[in-house]
Amino acid sequence: MYHHVKKMMYTVHVGAPDPRFGNMLLEQFGGANGELAAAMQYSIQGFNCEDVARKDLLMDIGTEELSHLEIVGALIRMHLRPMKTERLAAEADPLIAIAGGGGVGLVNSVGDAWTADYLKITGDLAVDLRSNIAAEARAKIVYERLISFTDDQGTKQALQFLMTREITHMRAFTAALESMEKPPFSIGTIAPTPGLVDQYVNASTGEGDEGDADRVGPWNKGSGLHIVGVGGKEGEILNTAPYDPKPGSETTSRVDSTPVGDRKMMQAEKVKKVA
């Protein structure tokens, strides 16, 4: 059950309306990294979640994102208000002024309609939590950029509040993921091919016009990874030998989402491992 309280989570004050900035703010209302996308993503993940504890987390944050949507909507409405009566302001975005009456719409900053394609929902709790951490990081960056493009103090303060909550949510999602006690690179229920999973392909070779050259770092020679070539190169090459998938072989968590696939085969593999 949802219950709307006629008091915003954060009280918004705008000194001087700026219709062009109001248009920019629409990115966080109806954009790919906006509050509506976050609210829908976390809530639907919550509807699907079999683990009651982490479902509570998803529903808490999904509902808070709706409160953030209300804050962003209030900011936009205040900044767009001149569009309702002033020709010059209306020219900042005729679509909003004429078709939308100078109000908030489910579009992003260039007028593209909001779409459920923005949502990242897999039904695997660990994967979804990782998506959520990334979503909060992207939203944080968008708020930083918006802050840099306004001089209105009240607007900056409201955006600072919203930006800060993104970090809070990142921390909560990260803690929830870590509490599942699932190895960080253990995804789903089928383990990757041994050996192959440790091979990093040096597929960008030679020297570029601007001094680009092959580099070595922890991303390709460390953390269990090592560099290999591709067919025809000297030294070790990528292992392409066929390897049969082994359902039920990946390290799982007691709170993993219900696996999808051939349950009988997975169970047989588990019995074989125990034997």
% of the chain residues with pLDDT over 70? 91
Sign of CA dihedral 182, 185, 189, 193: negative
Mean pLDDT of the chain: 90
Summarised one tens digit per residue, pLDDT across range 150-200 is 999 999 999 999 999 999 999 999 999 999 999 989 998 899 999 999 999
pLDDT in tens, 120-131: 999 999 999 999
Token digits of residue 37: 């996308």
H or E element in which residue 221 lies? none
Name residues whose C-beta falls within 8 Å of residue 228's C-beta, 6 or more positions apart in sequence.
Answer: 199, 200, 201, 202, 235, 236, 237, 238
Which of the four pLDDT bands, split at 50, 70 and 90, describes residue 223?
confident
Residue 61 CB neighbours (<10 A): 24
pLDDT of residue 220: 86
> Would you say residue 70 has pLDDT above 80?
yes
Give residue 236's pLDDT: 84
CB burial readout 39-53, b (16+ within 10 A) else e:
bbbbbbbbebbebee
| DSSP structural state of residue 199 | E
Q: Is residue 20 pLDDT above 60, yes or no?
A: yes
Mean pLDDT lowest for which of 35-39, 191-195, 216-220, 254-258? Answer: 254-258
Please state the separation of Cα 132 from the chain's center in Å: 5
Of 91-100, 103-112, 143-152, 265-274, minimum mean pLDDT range: 265-274
Q: Crossing angle for the helix pair 35-48 and 52-80, nearest 10 degrees?
A: 160
pLDDT surpassing 90 at residue 214? no
Collapse the DSSP code of 194 into the 3-class scheme (helix H, G, I; strand E, B; otherwise coil) and give the result: coil
- CA distances in angstroms from 28 to 84, 105, 142, listed in the order given: 22, 11, 8
143 has pLDDT over 80? yes
Count other C-beta atoms under 10 Å from residue 113's C-beta: 9
Confidence band for 96, pLDDT divided at 50, 70 and 90: confident
To the question of pTM greater than 0.95 for the whole model, the response is: no
Comparison of pLDDT for 135 and 271, the residue scoring more: 135
Predicted confidence band of residue 271 (pLDDT cuts 50, 70, 90): low
